Homo-oligomer: A and B are copies of this chain.
């Protein structure tokens, strides 16, 4: 018998993964949560049909959203993770001793429980004393925050469905207000390749570019993402991701990584021409 899980990358392209068994399947208040055991990617969490986390490639995403801003900002003490129910981002952040507090704002309690049960190695990011989990919608949480964080990481899934509010202009404005004067925000920028993703990609850059003085985009190759290419936004009140990047200081930390290096940090901001063109076009718009 063969079981294949398929992710619809677009209406016309799908990525299928051979699955040994389905370990969990339930509808939470927010989304359909599935956990599969696969041969190629190990265990995977699938939310509403999309692979959100796989044991084989989660390191790429988690390292890229954490180490890039951490190698730029000189002293991060307070971090907010919006989403982050799997604990992977929190786990990488806890490697930094100077961080004093990590707020994880994940509305879906069941997602966190599932992560703790099936991915204990990753979810142990939650066990660090500095981590505080709040089960609340990210946009609502942000409305009451002022001048509180050095770094905000938007680890939420998609500009559609229940996380839609996390991709609005109001959201970027609220993040801006919640950050200190030299704060940085990193957010998922999606995959720029397929036509059906392009409008969301453009809108995201336009909103961030209009909300923050510094707004750059960087990339990583993530096999389980549509087209294998994923983009991240780096929006900042003060620091530039390359001009204020301190490779030596970061290397002296001697953190173990599998994807990130300080060379790759620079390379990640050097984008394909078709992506640069999209970004420039949006920057011209008022």
**Structural contact, B270 and A258, CB atoms closer than 8 A:** no
Number of interface residues of A (CB under 8 A): 44
Residues of chain A in range 20-75 having any CB-CB distance to chain B below 8 Å: 38-41, 57, 60
When distances are taken between beta carbons in the complex, the residues of chain B under 8 Å from A257 are 273
Nearest CB on B from A124, distance (A): 22
CA distance A60 to B263 in the complex (A): 22
**Structural contact, A221 and B39, CB atoms closer than 8 A:** no
Is A266 at the interface (CB under 8 A from chain B)? Answer: yes
CA distance A72 to B257 in the complex (A): 31
Contact of A16 among B13, B57, B276 (CB under 8 A): B13
* Closest Cβ neighbor of A272 among chain B residues: B259
Contact of A223 among B12, B228, B268, B270 (CB under 8 A): B228
When distances are taken between beta carbons in the complex, the residues of chain B under 8 Å from A229 are 221, 223, 228
State the number of copies, please: 2
Nearest CB on B from A70, distance (A): 16
CA distance A276 to B260 in the complex (A): 11
CA distance A219 to B219 in the complex (A): 12
Is A227 at the interface (CB under 8 A from chain B)? Answer: yes
* Closest Cβ neighbor of A15 among chain B residues: B15
Is A200 at the interface (CB under 8 A from chain B)? Answer: no
CA distance A40 to B15 in the complex (A): 14
Residues A264 and B270 in contact in the complex (CB < 8 Å), given A223-B193, A228-B223: yes
Is A17 at the interface (CB under 8 A from chain B)? Answer: yes
Is A130 at the interface (CB under 8 A from chain B)? Answer: no
When distances are taken between beta carbons in the complex, the residues of chain B under 8 Å from A6 are 16
Nearest CB on B from A26, distance (A): 25
CA distance A269 to B268 in the complex (A): 11
When distances are taken between beta carbons in the complex, the residues of chain B under 8 Å from A266 are 266-267, 270
Is A271 at the interface (CB under 8 A from chain B)? Answer: yes
23 residue pairs of the A-B complex, CB under 8 angstroms, read: A11-B39, A13-B15, A15-B16, A16-B16, A40-B194, A60-B272, A193-B223, A221-B227, A223-B227, A223-B228, A223-B229, A225-B228, A228-B229, A257-B273, A258-B272, A258-B274, A259-B273, A261-B270, A261-B276, A264-B273, A266-B267, A267-B267, A267-B268
Q: Which 5 A-B pairs have the closest CB atoms?
A: A228-B228, A267-B270, A267-B267, A223-B227, A221-B229
